[in-house]
């Protein structure tokens, strides 16, 4: 996955933080990837690196497929902020 895709996913996460259902589902996917095979972090830095590494592994086509109305949801959230 290219760096632009990681930025795209990070921006999505920031925009949907206010929408718990979307965030919980996306975090659940990432959580499963991060802690796969019993992986554990002893400190925060390895956890940060692991999260970023797993974000790179996310198929960019999967996220929009999981949330077909994500663009509409994000737009509503953004409109509320202004």
Range of the domain at 46: 3-81
Q: Kindly report, residue by residue over 9-62, the tens digit of the pLDDT.
A: 777 777 666 666 777 777 888 899 999 999 999 998 999 899 889 988 887 777
Structural domains counted in the chain: 1
**Predicted TM-score (pTM) above 0.85:** no
Cα dihedral sign, 24-66-73-48:
positive
Short-list 2, 57, 69, CA closest to 30: 57
């Amino acid at each position: 996955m290219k760096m632009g895709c990681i930025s795209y996913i990070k921006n999505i996460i920031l925009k949907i933080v206010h929408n718990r259902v979307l965030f919980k589902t996306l975090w659940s996917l990432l959580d499963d990837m991060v802690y796969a095979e019993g992986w554990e972090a002893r400190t925060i830095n390895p956890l940060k690196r692991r999260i970023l590494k797993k974000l790179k592994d996310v198929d960019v086509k999967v996220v929009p497929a999981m949330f077909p109305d994500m663009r509409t949801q994000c737009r509503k959230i953004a409109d509320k902020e202004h």
